[in-house]
Amino acid sequence: MAGTSTASVRQNKITCTVTYLGTKLDMGIFDTWEGANITADNTKHRRGGMGPQVAIGGPVTIEDLTISRDYDLARDNPNAHWLSGAVGRASVVATKQYLDSDAVAYGRPIIITGVLIGYNEPNADSDSGDVAMLEIVINPNGAVG
């Protein structure tokens, strides 16, 4: 049935913008989204008088996010030096929008803002037939939007 949401978890549109030294670069569409999981400290307390353990929780942490895509020379090579210089300084916005089986946006997107902490060029191996992949690594700010 068209428009159902059962396959929407597998299909998504991942986009990214990087802002550095007053220049905003729309990086386009990415293939993978790994990380940005949300966890909290596992804090427990046992009250006096042999009281039961109480779960308290703790500060929330958003793990680093890595997004990647195939490296296209015409698209990606012109920005390689700029992105390398932006590591540790640039602000990044990454968005993951789930898509239904008709490639129509479904629900609210997941938005991560943060600092660019990694720009990884593809590995080089003349004996490999693997796809060359570019990676952007983000240290998230605040809450997931």
pLDDT at residue 125, as a whole number:
82
A 10 A CB-CB count for 138 gives: 26
**Cα 47 → chain centroid:** 40
pTM metric for this prediction: 0.84
Distance of CA 105 to the CA centre of its chain: 18
At residue 9, the pLDDT reads 58
pLDDT digits (tens, 9 = 90+) for 82-130: 999 999 999 999 999 999 888 899 999 999 999 999 999 998 888 888 8
The single-letter DSSP state of residue 105 is B
The first and second tokens of residue 18, run together, are: 């990087």
Domain parsing of the chain, residue ranges = 12-38+62-140
Tokens of 136: 């952007």
